[in-house]
Structure 1
Amino acid sequence: MKNFESKEDREWKAGEQGSRGAGEQVENNNAQSPIPKTQLLLYLIPIIGFFPSLWTLYRGQASREQLAVSRLSITLALTWLLGYLLLSTGATTSDFFSLRLFILNSFLTSGYFIVSVWLILRLMQGKSGRLPGFSTLAERMFGKYLS
C-alpha cells in the first residue's frame, strides 16, 4: 500500500506511530460499532418516533435490537391512534357517555406517553426495551411483513 500513499500520508502515519506509547493499540475502523442509544431513543419518542421506526422497518437493514424497538414503537403508536379515534368518535356521537369517553381518551393518551418515557428510561439504563404483551404482538403483526 505504500506505493499508493502520498508522501504526506506516510510522514503523518510515521509521526503518529512514533508518538504512541508501547501499550497503546491501533483502533480497528472496520469493527462493528454498537448501536447508538440515541437512535433507539428516537424510535420511542411518542408520535414522532413512529416515522423513523417505519423507515427502519421499510429499509430492513438494521440490527435485531433496532428492528424490535421499531416494531414496538409502531405497535404502540398504532394502538394509541386506533383507541384515540374510536374513543373520540364515540364521544362525539354519544350524548350521555361523551364526558366519560373523553376522560378515557385522556387516560389512554397519558398512558401512551408514560409507557414511552418509561421505555426510554429503561433503554438509557441499559435494560431491555421490551413490553411483555406488546412486544409479542409487534413480532406477530410486523415480523412477517416488514422485515
Structure 2
Amino acid sequence: MKDNYRQENLNKFWLSLYLMPIVGIFFALISVLSKSENQFKTKKISRVSLRLGLGWLTIYSSLWLGSVLTNDLFSIRLMYLNGMFTTGYFLVCLFFLIKLWGSKTE
C-alpha cells in the first residue's frame, strides 16, 4: 500500500514537471520525442503542455514584436495584452497542476 502511494506520488511529480509554465515545455518535448513505451497519460499530458506552451510562445512573440514595431500608445496596449495572455497561461498551468494533484488513485 505504501509503495503504491509512493509510486503514485512519484508519477504525479513527473507529470507536474511537464505542466510547469515555460520550463515544462522542455520536459514535455523530451517525453514526446522519446521512443520508450510511456504511459498513455504521460504522452497526453506532454502533448497538452506542448500545445499550451508553444501557443503561448507564439502569441507572446507576436505581441512583443508588434509592441516593438509600433508607436507608443499601441505599444503599451500590446504589452498589456501580452501580460494578460501570460497570466492566463500561468493560471491554466496552475489549474492543470491542481487538477492533477487532486485526482484520485487510478
Counterpart in the other structure of 1:107: 84
Counterpart in the other structure of 2:11: 36
The residue type equivalent to 2:31 in the other structure is T
Q: Output the aligned Cα RMSD.
A: 1.7
Deviations 1:4-62 (A, max 9, x none): xxxxxxxxxxxxxxxxxxxxxxx9xxxxx657110111100001111111111111421
Trace 1:127-138 onto structure 2 (pairs within 5 A).
none
CA distance in 2, matches of 1:37, 1:60: 21
2:49 maps to 1:70: no
In terms of Rg, which structure is larger?
1
Counterpart in the other structure of 2:63: 87
Name structure 1 gaps, 5 residues minimum: 1-26, 28-32, 128-147
CA distance in 1, matches of 2:78, 2:29: 30
CA distance in 2, matches of 1:68, 1:45: 15
Q: TM-score, with normalisation over the residues of structure 1?
A: 0.61
The residue type equivalent to 2:11 in the other structure is P
CA distance in 1, matches of 2:27, 2:54: 14
CA distance in 2, matches of 1:60, 1:111: 32
Counterpart in the other structure of 2:30: 55
Name structure 2 gaps, 5 residues minimum: none
Match of 1:116 among 83, 93, 106: 93
Q: Which protein is richer in helix relative to its size?
A: 2
Counterpart in the other structure of 1:131: none
Share of identical aligned residues, percent? Answer: 34
CA distance in 2, matches of 1:40, 1:122: 12
Counterpart in the other structure of 2:74: 97
Higher relative contact order (CA 8 A, sep 6+): 2
CA distance in 2, matches of 1:123, 1:75: 17
Secondary structure class of the residue paired with 2:21: coil
